[in-house]
Each structure stands twice: as structure tokens, then as C-alpha cells.
Structure 1
Amino acid sequence: MIWFCIPMGLFSIPIYLESVPKNNPVMMASSVTIYLNLMAMTLSTPGLLANLVEKSEIDLDDTKYSKKWVAMLMILYTVVIIVGVIAYYQSKNFVIMCPAMIASQIMLAILITAYLITFNLVCTSFIAEATDLTKEDKVTVTISCSMNLVKKIRMLKRGFSPLLLSMLVNYSVSMIICSYSGLYFLKLGKYFTSLNYITSVAMYLLIVYSLICSCDEVFQALSANNDKLRKMSLMADDDMKHKILTVLEIIREEGPFTALGFFDVDKSTFMTIIGCTINYLVIMLSFNAT
């Protein structure tokens, strides 16, 4: 699938660049960058996902996942493809470019859907395990399972860390470029082309938000049994109480997911990405104005 997607993308680049205004260096650089960005993501992410699945040690066949993110992504991708076909309908290379664009977009949609399903499977498995622990009444079993959850989340962090850095940085760059391109073509009166880029921004936001939410939900699930452990410590003897307090301290010291240690990944990260996108968009617009 990857090796089919890449040639289709490469084939459509020179045709697509013909429609980009040559008198705007920012637009030319943005167009080339977003294609290179998508190819880099297509090549790097499958290996990073395989690393995540290996670290998580889950059975992908027995774990359920939420379909809401996948459904929303499919709706947005369908809109992107339809609007893209309409936008380039008047192009002289439409007959060549349309099949290449549709094929590459469908392949990318399948790949990204696989990414979302994998994230969801891994995170849902951990959350389900933490939820099942709330029904356990034995102190020793609760302590043992809590420590296993700590070990498991540390493995998940190692698996997620490079993937978070790669995907968040790449999709943030893609959002900046698509936002600028959408505004640029809107100014030129090419409304369908502008809508194509703006819809792409919404799609990237969905992917970033779903990834951040998944990581944050896993981190919050680790602390779901803290109140239960505290209540158990009140009725336990000194030796058991010491073990419970040690487990609580270990859980408390566990930080959130990080992108290879460069920054923490929690729900506030999403607003930070939006803020950075707006800042860089203003800079690009200012540069273009000069």
C-alpha cells in the first residue's frame, strides 16, 4: 500500500505545481513542503506503529475500539476528495491528475485509518484493564495489578514517544501550510481549492486531537484506583499500608506522555498546537505581504 501511495503522490506533484502561482515563493515552498511531509509520514509511521504494538503487548484480535474517530475521519476524507475533484475540474491536466489524486488520497485515508484504529486499540486495552481493577476487592491483588499497570504504561510511553513527536510535528506543519494555502486561494477567488485546504486542516485537527485524547485518557486511567487504594490503606495493617502508600507514590510520580521528552502531551497540548499554528500563519501572511 505504501509503495503504491508514494508513486501516485510523486506523479501528481509536477501536475499540481503547475496550478500554483509562480510569483509567490511562499506558496511554492509550502506546496513542496506539504508533499514531502506527507511522504515522510507515510514512510515513517508504519514502523513506529509496529513498535507501539510490540511495546503494548496486546491482542489486536480481542480488543475492541471506538469507531467515532474513524467515522469522522472518513467523512472528512470524502469531502476532501470530492472538493479536490471539483477544484481541479477546469485544469488542463484533469484527466491525468484526477485518478492520481483520488488513488493517493484513498491510500492515505486507509493508512491513517489504520493509525487511528491502532492507537484506539492500544489505549482501550489499557483503560479496560484499569477499569476492571476497580471491581477487585482483595488488597494484595489490587496492589499487584496497580504495579503491573505502572509497568505497562511505562512501556506504552516508550512506544508512543517517537510516534507522538513524528505525528504531532508533521501534522502541525501540515496545518500551518494548509491554513495559509486555504486563505491564499480564497483571496484569489478559487473557493473550491480553498475549501479543499480548509477541510484538510479540519482533518489534521481531528487526527491530532484523537491522538492527544487517547494518550491523556490512558494517563488518567492509571490514577482511577487511587481513591480505592487510599480507603484500603485506612483498614490495612502497617505492613500492607506501607505497600499501598508506596504504590500510590509511584503512581503519583508517573508523568504524562511525552514526545521523546521534548514536551508533555496532555489536553493542553492541543490548544498549544492551535496557538502555534495561528502564530506561524500570521508570520507567513506578513512575509507574503512584504
Structure 2
Amino acid sequence: MAFFPLPLMAKMVEKSNINPKRTRYTKLYLVLIQILSSVLLLLAFVYSMRGSSIHRIIYFALAYLGVTALNTFLLLVINAICNSFVEETEKVQKLSEVRSLITESYQLVCRLRSIKTAFNPLLFIMLPLNVVLSLVLLYTCYFYLVDAQYLEFINKFCILVGIALNVFYYTHFCNITHQALSNNNDKLRQVALNSCGEDKNDLLIVLAMIEAEGPFTAYDYFEVNNSSFMSIISQTIGYLIIMITLK
């Protein structure tokens, strides 16, 4: 699954124009938890394959570590892009010169649109895929737990935790990026009240552009924000109950 977003990551970085060396990273503990769950899963798999040949175990371990590394890189790219935009909005809020505020705010709107466009294919592909995998894994975990196959249950549960963290990561950073632009509205309204003529008209136009910017979407099929994460969890559990009932 982690190999799939490689061309998408390149497009995201290209459109966002970020400088990784000057970008702060937040929520890194989620990445560490993701790596830890992957390591635990790898150890569990290696233990379950202890009767296999050493070459097969090494090949599997290297392949799994490669997938984990690519997925971690994807999370860091998302982190860098979104935090870079948040930093830019914080700088704009500190501006006092009206024309500079108007110009920079307009550029923020344009940049957010570019980031949304870059995120479209990632969200459209990865979120539904993660939801389907979560449903399958939940269903599998239930039967391993009922059959008292605890090692297999732990294996599948670690994968499930990793997928849930991925989904939370996507929704959280999409939400804070969109909110960062919306938070700039108060500054613009305050300046507009004290302005007149062309400056006030331009400020009102920029305000209207910001208010017209909706949350991130996956090609407009569904919105992606904090509420999306809880919706995914509730719907997945609902489908699981239905599947168990119809078994």
C-alpha cells in the first residue's frame, strides 16, 4: 500500500513549494507510534515464521521494512506541507501594512487551492482503501479472538492500529491546514473596519475568497476534516456488526 503514493508524493511536494529544512514538524509522536506498531508487527510475523527458511524470513523482513519506511516518508511529507502552510498564515496575521496583508492573504488562498489539488488523488485513493482494509481486519480480529488465536489477533490488531493512525493523520492535517486560513479572517475583518476606499474593497474580496474555501475533499466525493475520522470509525464498526449478524 505504501508504494502506491510515490508519484502522488512527488506531485504534492512540487505544488506546495515547501522547504523541508525550514519547516517544523508536529505530531511526530504519531509517526513514532506508527513505527513502533510496525516493528511489533514485524517481530510477531518473524516469530510466526520461525519454522521457515532464514532466507524467506530475511526477504520478508526487508520488504516489510521498505514498505514501512515509504509510509513513514509519506506521513512526514504531509506533515511538512501542512505545517509549512500554517506557518505562512501565522506570519500573515502579524502583518500591519494593509496592501501587504491583502497580497499575502490572496497568495495564501491560491496556495491552499494548490495543496488541495495535490491532496485530491491521495485522499481519493488512500482513505477508501484504508476503510476497506480496516473493515476486513476488524472482521478477522473478531474471529481470531473468538477462536483464541491470540498471536494472529495481535498481528492483525497491530496492522489495524497502523491504519487507524494513517487515517487520523490524513484527516487531522487536512483540518488544521483549512482552519489556518479561516483563522486569518478575524485579522482581515479588523483591518477592513479601519480601512476605506480601494483597500476596503480588496479586503472584502479576499475575505469572500477565504470564506468560499471549503474543507479538503477527495475530488468533491467527500469532505476530509476531523469529523471524517469519527465518521469512518462509526461506519466501520456499524458494518462490522452487520457482517457478524449476517454470518
Q: TM-score range by the shorter chain?
A: over 0.9
Match of 2:146 in 1: 187
Q: 1:105-124 counterparts in 2 under 5 A?
A: 105-124=64-83
User: What TM-score, normalized by structure 1, do the two folds share?
Assistant: 0.80
Equivalent residue for 1:134, pick from 51, 76, 93: 93
Structure 1 position 239 matched with structure 2 position 198: yes
Give, in whole Å, the separation in 2 of the partners of 1:197 and 1:98. Answer: 18
Match of 1:225 in 2: 184
Structure 1 position 76 matched with structure 2 position 27: no
> 1:86-128 CA distances to partner (integer Å, 9 max, x unpaired)?
3444xx5365653333222211110111100100111111000
Structure 1 position 55 matched with structure 2 position 38: no
Q: 1:80-119 counterparts in 2 under 5 A?
A: 80-89=41-50, 92-93=51-52, 95=54, 97-119=56-78
Give, in whole Å, the separation in 2 of the partners of 1:233 and 1:132. Answer: 18
Q: Which moved more, 1:68-77 or 1:114-123?
A: 68-77
User: What TM-score, normalized by structure 2, do the two folds share?
Assistant: 0.93
Structure 1 position 280 matched with structure 2 position 239: yes
3-state SS, counterpart of residue 5 of structure 2: helix
Q: Which sections of structure 1, spanning at least 5 residues, go unmatched? A: 1-37
Match of 1:19 in 2: none
Kept after mapping to 2: 8 A contact 1:157/1:257: yes
RMSD: 1.7
Q: Which sections of structure 2, spanning at least 5 residues, go unmatched? A: none
Give, in whole Å, the separation in 1 of the partners of 2:135 and 2:211. Answer: 36
Q: 1:199 Cα shift? A: 1.5
> 1:117-169 CA distances to partner (integer Å, 9 max, x unpaired)?
10011111100000111111111111110000000000001000111111101
Structure 1 position 164 matched with structure 2 position 150: no
Match of 1:3 in 2: none
Letter in 1 for 2:45: G
Structure 1 position 252 matched with structure 2 position 228: no
Kept after mapping to 2: 8 A contact 1:131/1:224: no
Give, in whole Å, the separation in 1 of the partners of 2:61 and 2:103. Answer: 51
**When the two structures are aligned, how many residues end up with a matched partner?**
246
Q: 1:189 Cα shift? A: 1.5
Kept after mapping to 2: 8 A contact 1:84/1:192: no
Percent of paired sites with the same residue: 31
Give, in whole Å, the separation in 2 of the partners of 1:72 and 1:131. Answer: 29
Letter in 2 for 1:71: L
Give, in whole Å, the separation in 2 of the partners of 1:234 and 1:124. Answer: 30
Give, in whole Å, the separation in 2 of the partners of 1:235 and 1:135. Answer: 16
Q: 1:72 Cα shift? A: 1.6
Q: 1:257 Cα shift? A: 0.5
Give, in whole Å, the separation in 2 of the partners of 1:94 and 1:192. Answer: 20
Kept after mapping to 2: 8 A contact 1:69/1:116: no
Letter in 2 for 1:75: L
Give, in whole Å, the separation in 2 of the partners of 1:47 and 1:286. Answer: 41
Letter in 1 for 2:157: I
